[in-house]
Structures are given as C-alpha cells and as structure tokens.
Amino acid sequence: MKILAAVDGSSYTKRMLGYLTAHAEWLVAGHDITVLTVSAPVPPRAAAALDRDTIQSYYEDEAEKVFKPIRAFFAKQGVNATFVRKTGHAAEVIGKTAEAGKFDLLMLGSHGHGALTGMVMGSITTKVLASCRTPALLIR
C-alpha cells in the first residue's frame, strides 16, 4: 500500500505516530510510506529582500524541525520512509500530492498548526477532504 502521511509537527502528528505504534500492521514491509510537510511561502515583500539560498535554507530548516522526531521514530521502528518538503498552501499541496502520486491512502491529523480551526476538524483537513479523492485516515 502506498501511504502519504501529511505532518506538521503538531500534537496530532504525535498522535499519528502513536497510532502507528499501536497498529504495527502499518509499519510492516510492503507499505511505501511518504512523509510530507508543507511550509507556507515567505511573504513576497520579505522574499524580495532575501536571496534565494536564504529562503531555501529557511524552508529546509522548518521542514527538518518537523521531520527530525519522525525520522527518529521510524529509525527505532526499522521503517524506511521517503521525506518530502513542499511549499505552498497546505490543503492544496497535500491534495495535489496525494492525487498526483497515486497514493492508496492519505493519513493526516484532524487538526494541526493552522491559524483557523473548525469545530470538528481543522480547516486544512476540511479543505483536503473536500478537494481530494484519495481515501483518508484521520487521526484524532
């Protein structure tokens, strides 16, 4: 099974890792896991004042803050995963990545670091579910 795990380093990302630990069948060989984090773009005025290398370094550092504990978790579990960092609007990028990559399952937290949150689900999660046809597993 080809799985895309969308992560942002929030407590719901940690819950997703807890879910994976409790359900070891997700961590067995045969599953192809891709871990995706999406950084919001640097505002255009700020980007105009910075060189491209500085901006790319910023995006890489932000992604690594999210990936570091996940890499450690997967190493401890003996799981190989691909880590992907993208920039853009999180809901749009997650949905497009899930469909373009022809993933069998999209795994994501029901809430995250977004500024706006819904009553039942976070706004990013709601937008992903509304625009993406890939089956999703929400972790609460």
The answer to whether 3 touches 97, Cβ cutoff 8 Å, is no
Write down all domains in the chain, each with its CATH number in brackets. Answer: 2-139 (3.40.50.620)
What's the pLDDT at 103?
Answer: 96
What's the pLDDT at 112?
Answer: 55
Token pair 């505002």: residue? 43
Contact residues for 19 (Cβ-Cβ < 8 A; gap 6+): 26, 139
What's the pLDDT at 53?
Answer: 95
How close are the terminal C-alpha atoms of the chain, in Å? Answer: 22
pTM of the model: 0.87
What's the pLDDT at 116?
Answer: 42
Distance CA 97, CA 91 (A): 10
Question: Across-strand partners of 87?
Answer: 39
What's the pLDDT at 114?
Answer: 47
pLDDT in tens, the chain (140 residues): 899 999 998 888 888 888 877 887 877 777 899 999 999 999 999 999 999 999 999 999 999 999 999 999 989 888 889 999 999 999 999 999 999 999 999 999 886 544 444 444 467 888 898 989 999 998 88
Contact residues for 74 (Cβ-Cβ < 8 A; gap 6+): 33, 80, 81
What's the pLDDT at 122?
Answer: 62
Amino acid residing at 85 = R
